[in-house]
Amino acid sequence: MDRKKTVLVVVAHGDDMEFLAGGTVARFVDEKAYDVFEYILTDNSKGSYSLSAGELRERSVREAEEAGRVLGLKEVRQEGYPDGLLNEEHPNVLRAKIMAMIREVRADVVLGWDPFAPCEEHPDHRVAAMALLEAASFSSIPLYHPEHAHPPHLVTEAYWIAKRPWSAELFVDVSATIDKKIEALLKHETQMELTVDGLRLEAETLGADAAPFQDAGPEGCRRLIDMGIRSFCAAVGEKAGMPYAEQFRYEKLGMLDRILGNDLVKPDF
């Protein structure tokens, strides 16, 4: 029998989820009627070539909330660690915070950066990934943080995202939600400006045509991101015979299926 699940997305930055999993999250909400919560660990305060850290912090909070409304999330919680410095927090403290969130919302499914994906250059992604894996693996054991306000809870599934996927054999068709994915992503205006500015800088450095990225303005930025995301998701989808897709390493976190050979835990798509 199908059960209604609760999904907890834990990412380092606002826009991480929308880039690689926004269409799937939209399907969780729209088709499955699942409750989806997002926990963003840093403040995005280094993500710009032109804005100050203070401007980024203020705008990023609002942008993440607006993106969450587009996707129909139950809550977007923002921890506010300094961007790029998540590794300065003790791993046990970060794990405990994520575990507390898992127990509070009673998450059945977690979604976040893959702790074992190769060539991940961003330290915040690497730290967030391992902290989520550890928190999800031990959140059901009562002797881990008995001081928490909410009781232990078992997480049974994980959807892992990566810029360079490893062993990621689950492809989710997001053809019906690609527009909502892009709409949510574009709410992160500061990060989309960062993306376009980064493309301009790269083109200039390589001696390529940088004209499409120069003085794009808000509308030009939106068009470039829209085009780029559709192209990226189409390329992912081509691997699986889908118009648009997102790719995950799907993992069963419990032991029952593995030990007894059952098939009780399955991806939703």
Tens digit of each residue's pLDDT (9 = 90 or more) over 16-34: 999 999 999 999 999 999 9
Is 264 part of any domain?
Answer: no
Q: Determine the structural domain holding residue 44 and report its residue range.
A: 6-258
Two structure tokens written together for 254: 């419990």
* 263 is a domain residue: no
The model's pLDDT over 117-132, given as tens digits with 9 standing for 90+, comes to: 999 999 999 999 999 9
pTM assigned to the model: 0.96
- Is the CB of residue 36 less than 8 Å from the CB of residue 4? no
Q: Does the pLDDT at position 212 exceed 70?
A: yes
Answer yes or no: is 227 within a domain.
yes
The enclosing domain of 30 has a CATH number of 3.40.50.10320
Sign of CA dihedral 208, 231, 168, 87: positive
Split into its structural domains, the chain has a count of: 1
Closest CA to 58 of 69, 45, 67: 45
pLDDT at 1: 53
Yes or no: say if 13 and 44 are a contact pair by the CB < 8 Å rule: yes
Is the residue at 144 inside a domain? Answer: yes
The residue type of 53 is: A
What number of H helices and E strands is found in the chain?
A: 8, 7
For residue 1, tell me if it sits in a domain: no
Residue 216: what pLDDT?
74
